[in-house]
Amino acid sequence: MLLLLLIIPVFGAIAVLSAKEGTTAKHACLAACIINLVVSLLLLSQFDGNTGHLQFAQSCGYFGLCHLHIGLDGLSLFFVILTSFIIPSCILASWDTILSRPGWKSFLIAVLVLETLLIALFVVVDLLLFYICFESVLIPLFFMIGQWGHGASRIRSAFLLFLYTLFGSLFMLLAIITVWLSSGTSDILLLSTVDISHSVQNLLWLGFFLAFAIKLPLVPFHIWLPQAHTDAPLAGSMLLAGIILKLPVYGSLRILLPLLPEASQHFSPLVYTLCIISILYTCLSTLRQSNLKSVIAYSSVSHMAIVTMGLFSNTIQGIEGGIFLSLAHGIVSPALFICITVLYDRWHSLTLLYYRGLAQAMPIFATLFFVFILANMATPPSGNFVGEFLSFIGAFQRNPVLTALAAFFSVILTAAYSIWLFNRVCFGSFSPYLLRASDLTRREFFLLLPYLILTFLLGIFPNLILDYLQFPVSGLIVQTSC
């Protein structure tokens, strides 16, 4: 059944290519994505949460240097479900604009190719295949931003995304080649039994971490993210915030922590220092942004820094909190980008200073926007609150001083820019620069509704996810401590 997740988007792409009408192509693409979501939920229903071993494992032997071996465990299960959930939302969010620009077939195929590559990245257990999928997602993203983005600088933003992340991944490729030459395999399960010296671990860790820090991104490797978000189409922004930023999180869980445990412990002060710098710098930068998308993009950097602190805490609470927060952020952040695009579709501007008093003209939008802003602030009972709370608990056990500073700056400054953003957009007299427009359409409301339900569902019933994380995270702690 796991192979179906990789095959169904391929059949969807074939159906899109053979479609003669745009409406037929859109429905074929959406149908393939929804079928994938159903399959991922079936996998969840059949998943045994009382074990940390790979499930639904399938091995196709060796293909060149790669071991074609796929499987699911608690660390990858919910990232696969998140991907399967966000992809059809991207199609629905772009439903009215897909056919309005040339190359709409290429857009639909790019989304389906991205779904296959992202799911493959979360299910492969081979370092080389992980690297191939990690890099291959850049190609459809590059064309998505460069061809279907908006803004005069979209070509520059596409190249910035491509070259920035490609540069960091070259060091990861060198690290993978070193591992393969020294151990004779790139299979992650076999590598977990290989004893790597401390000095070699440090070098390998730096190679992997540079690639992950750029794509996460942490300061000072964050330059590409605000530009890419600002010029990307809605589907591109949703994919970047919802899934792409989770790739280094999964890479850290699958590679850095279990395979290079001594180096992860050794460099944890460096990681925590970069995280607190990222939180402070991006929160202060967010207060100065005049572009609506840039506000959400910069806020993502600080949230992912908190995730990283939890992952490198070497505690069950911290790692579970980091995973949980990354999933919650993958729900709230795309919803905020949908809200921003609702405004852009009506007034074709992302400049914050033009907006004011929208609560008078769009009360339903203002209500939903307010709820997602609160969730982005990690206020209870949202899933973000549970994730941040657990991440800080775990990080505090690792480094109390830096964690206290990070929590203080994060809570105060996140509330500052979030309240300022909502107050500017929704309160006050209606802006004289805007014409009156309708509130949320039925499609926009039902597009945001699942995100709203999931945000509160994770906050009220966090054990829906945490129960599945207990065994794999406990095994990861044991592996790291050995």
**Which tens digits make up the pLDDT trace of 304-341?**
999 999 999 989 999 999 999 999 999 999 999 999 99
Residues written for the chain? 482
User: 113 near 265, Cβ under 8 Å?
Assistant: no
Does the pTM exceed 0.85?
yes
Select from 117, 378, 92, 93 the least CA-distant residue to 244: 117
The percent of residues in the chain predicted with pLDDT above 90, rounded, is 51
User: 5 near 34, Cβ under 8 Å?
Assistant: no
User: Terminus-to-terminus CA distance in the chain, angstroms?
Assistant: 34
What pLDDT sits at residue 481? 63
Buried b (16+ CB within 10 A) or exposed e, 420-455: ebbebbbeeeebeebeeeeebeeebeebbeebbebb
What pLDDT sits at residue 65? 62
- Phi then psi for residue 378, to 5 deg, are 65, 45
What pLDDT sits at residue 49? 81
- The reply to whether 98 falls in a domain is yes
**Taking the CB of residue 274, how many other CB atoms lie within 10 A of it?**
21
| C-alpha dist (Å) from residue 457 to 243, 399, 406, 452, 468 | 20, 31, 27, 9, 16
What pLDDT sits at residue 94? 85
**Confidence category of residue 63, pLDDT binned at 50, 70, 90:** low
The percent of residues in the chain predicted with pLDDT above 70, rounded, is 97
- The reply to whether 259 falls in a domain is no
- The reply to whether 217 falls in a domain is no
**If DSSP codes are grouped into helix, strand and coil, which group holds residue 58?**
strand
What pLDDT sits at residue 104? 75
What are 209-252's pLDDT values in tens digits?
A: 999 999 988 988 888 888 888 888 888 899 999 999 999 999 99
**Taking the CB of residue 42, how many other CB atoms lie within 10 A of it?**
12
- The reply to whether 392 falls in a domain is yes
- The reply to whether 335 falls in a domain is yes
Q: Provide the residue range defining the domain that includes 24.
A: 2-151+230-246+266-481
Distance CA 384, CA 390 (A): 10
- The reply to whether 219 falls in a domain is no
Distance CA 215, CA 235 (A): 18
Domains contained in the chain, number: 1
What pLDDT sits at residue 189? 84
- The reply to whether 164 falls in a domain is no
What are 71-122's pLDDT values in tens digits?
A: 898 899 999 999 999 999 999 888 877 666 676 788 889 999 999 999 999 9
- The reply to whether 121 falls in a domain is yes
User: 32 near 12, Cβ under 8 Å?
Assistant: yes
